Structure 1
Amino acid sequence: MSDIDEPSTGDPADPDRLARRRPALSRRTMVLGGIAVGGLAALGAGGALLYREVRRSAGPEGAWVQLSPIASVPSASPRQVSPAFEEPAGDTTVAVWAHADDDIIFANPHLAGVIASGATLRTVFVTAGDAGRGLGYAKQREAGIRAAYDLMRGRTSPWDTREITLLSGARVTRFVPVDDARLSITVLRLPDGNLNAEGFASTGDAGLTQLINGTVPALRPIDEGPVLDASRLTDTLAELIGAGVPDHVTTNIPHESAFARGDHPDHSCVGSLVRAVAPSVGVPAEAVTYFIGYPSQHRPTNVDGEALDAKVNVYRTYASQDPVVTCESASACLSQPGFGQWLRRSYAKTEQELELR
């Protein structure tokens, strides 16, 4: 997820509060169906009624933009050992996602099952999910995802933080619990591409879509790390996947799948990048699992009972650090447009099930 607005406080239908909010296109207005909430305030009581009606509507859908084919990374044998290498520790999944929360929203309860089983999980987040608001907000989301992982692993010890310069030249930040080396979270912090695939003004109106399509030559991470052109980005992802020595890879649905239409553009970009580079580090197609994003809201519910309770609790733990989506109770989380639908669903697809176009 991405595309944010001011933190939500008080009665969401309060016209005075709405009048104080920016009318600019944002995460919350996108979540509310693309309507600028500030504009509703001018409608008075009628605006409040419309606002409540929109809150009951389906979640957002991302813009559909044609994506250029992604060149695969040449296989190299033997590969030089990456500074990001992590010792294998049992059955290992490397999970690569666009934003910090894609995994807990779209890939749970599978994600929690991996952690509960004692298996190894190496997570990579490609974009900062910053929505143009800068590094401070991105770090709030990262803190939220660490808290969610703590809940799933049943411990709350500190996480070690270190910066790593990869063989590709990229610089990443890695978090590892001091008492649980089988888990790690690595962030690239590339700029969020926005629901419209056009990025945000504060980060040059550019994101993964423009980089892959060649309309921008490179992207600079929002933490001022080295710039990444398309070739360096694919090299970076190949290096990080290989450094995790995976038995399994999980990621977003790729752009070339029929299930990607209406998804966040960043999601489908990351899925396509992983699909293109995974073979170069020896990951067979059958070892990769893709999770449907936004379009899952149109499929039947398949997460309920105790599994739903646990999934919502993990999401609520994350959201307590994200001022845009904070929800104080399970019912409040499930009433959020989009999020409520996604939390009740999780759909995994194999390579053979992608319905490639």
Structure 2
Amino acid sequence: MSDIDEPSNGEHSPTEGVPARSGISRRALLFGGIAVGGLAAVGGGALLYREIRRSAGPEGTWVALSPIVPVPDAAPREPSPAAEPPGDDTTVAVWAHADDDIIFANPHLGAVIASGATLRTVFVTAGDAGRGLVYARQREAGIRAAYDLMRGSTAPWETREMTLLSGARATRFVPVDDPRLSITVLRLPDGNLSAKGFPTTGDAGLTQLINGTVPALEPVDGGPIFDARRLSDTIAELIHAGSPDRVMTNIPHESAFAHGDHPDHTCVGSLVRAVAPSVGVPADAVTYYIGYPSQHEPANVFGAALDAKVDVYEVYAAQDPVVTCHGPAACLAQPGFGQWLRRSYAKTDTELRLV
């Protein structure tokens, strides 16, 4: 979730190299066997700074979204440079921003990691909020630290640069001691809560690319540009490369649960829903997590499960200077984040309430 204004009075001003909290919380060990009131998810990124002080979480601007075209061909595919060794019970998770998963898809995300299953995560945008690559990398460091807490290790992550069959460039992080996990980032520009992007990245994001109002987007790391075909082909290629048994993603734009969500979230959900069948993923293998609008649903994450979820978020937030919070009470007091952390709602394709 990533929309921020410059902070005032020097509070939470962005800094490079914010240290991550060290050590493994005992609460993280609770993830594997904790039941919550239904699968759920809360996702986001760095908020408009002023939104943190509002009594309720933000809501994204609703903008009509064109159908996803072109959809990749379902013909047999040659092996991708992104292909990874097949794993047991593999989930490929595709999210708009680094933190969508720990906010909207936990406790389920932690349970997947604790079970020993294989998890391949993809973040489509940089969540840069117009601040550039330095801030995007802070968020990426935060999500790696959050995964370290959930997996119970602080061994380093190897960085790999890949040029995909689609022509896109991707950066992948893999723990040196745990190859069943990987995080792949595409670093496309953040689309803003307004769906209008940021001036520093051409006032454009996924919404404009899908709607055809801009011909291409340039990743914030200067990689090859994405047109609509490359975007769809890349998402399809990365899903296929993970050989998934199931897929997790944001709620799609065509769902009634998408109203008020971050436009980047719903773009990514719609992309995954459109391209997954072309790589052999059936509709019933995809789970969609409600984002911002989950704050309007009853709380369903409690007790030890909530404690563990907040621990993971706090570790992430230590690297994200916009949302850094010190202690569970402070994290849960953040409007928006506090509501989302107490909730997680997952929907199957048949439960999306398409509109």
- After TM superposition, the score normalised by the length of structure 2 is 0.88
Relative contact order: is structure 1 or structure 2 higher (C-alpha 8 Å, sep ≥ 6)?
A: 2
Q: CA deviation at 1:163?
A: 0.5
Hey, what does 1:111 align to over in structure 2?
109
- Counting only pairs closer than 5 Å after superposition, residues 116-135 of structure 1 correspond to structure 2 as 116-135=114-133
Gaps of 5+ in 2: 13-46
User: CA separation in 1, counterparts of 2:166 and 2:326?
Assistant: 42
Q: Which structure is larger by alpha-carbon Rg, 1 or 2?
A: 1
User: CA separation in 2, counterparts of 1:250 and 1:288?
Assistant: 6
Change (3 A) 1:332 1:269: same
CA contact (8 A) 1:5 1:324 kept: no
User: CA separation in 2, counterparts of 1:326 and 1:241?
Assistant: 32
Matched position secondary structure for 2:244: coil
CA contact (8 A) 2:249 2:288 kept: yes
Gaps of 5+ in 1: 13-25, 33-53
CA contact (8 A) 2:7 2:49 kept: no
Q: CA deviation at 1:11?
A: 7.5
Matched position secondary structure for 2:131: coil
Q: CA deviation at 1:5?
A: 3.7
- Counterpart selection for 1:200 from 181, 198, 206: 198
User: CA separation in 1, counterparts of 2:144 and 2:336?
Assistant: 23
- Counting only pairs closer than 5 Å after superposition, residues 138-287 of structure 1 correspond to structure 2 as 138-287=136-285
User: CA separation in 2, counterparts of 1:204 and 1:304?
Assistant: 42
User: CA separation in 1, counterparts of 2:345 and 2:49?
Assistant: 25
Aligned residue type for 1:3: D
Hey, what does 2:4 align to over in structure 1?
4
Matched position secondary structure for 2:233: helix
CA contact (8 A) 1:316 1:333 kept: yes
Hey, what does 1:102 align to over in structure 2?
100
CA contact (8 A) 1:134 1:222 kept: yes
Aligned residue type for 2:327: S
Aligned residue type for 1:75: A
Change (3 A) 1:201 1:109: same
Matched position secondary structure for 2:238: helix
Aligned-pair identity in percent equals 77
Hey, what does 1:46 align to over in structure 2?
none
- After TM superposition, the score normalised by the length of structure 1 is 0.88
User: CA separation in 1, counterparts of 2:84 and 2:6?
Assistant: 38
Change (3 A) 1:191 1:134: same
- Counterpart selection for 1:27 from 38, 45, 48: 48
CA contact (8 A) 1:96 1:270 kept: yes
Per-residue CA deviations over 1:106-154 (Å, capped at 9, x if unaligned) read 0000000000000000000000000000000000000000000000000
Aligned-pair RMSD on alpha carbons? 1.3
CA contact (8 A) 1:73 1:276 kept: no
Aligned residue type for 1:342: W
User: CA separation in 1, counterparts of 2:308 and 2:89?
Assistant: 23
Aligned positions, number: 320
CA contact (8 A) 1:8 1:324 kept: no
Per-residue CA deviations over 1:145-175 (Å, capped at 9, x if unaligned) read 0000000000000000011000000000000
CA contact (8 A) 2:192 2:198 kept: yes
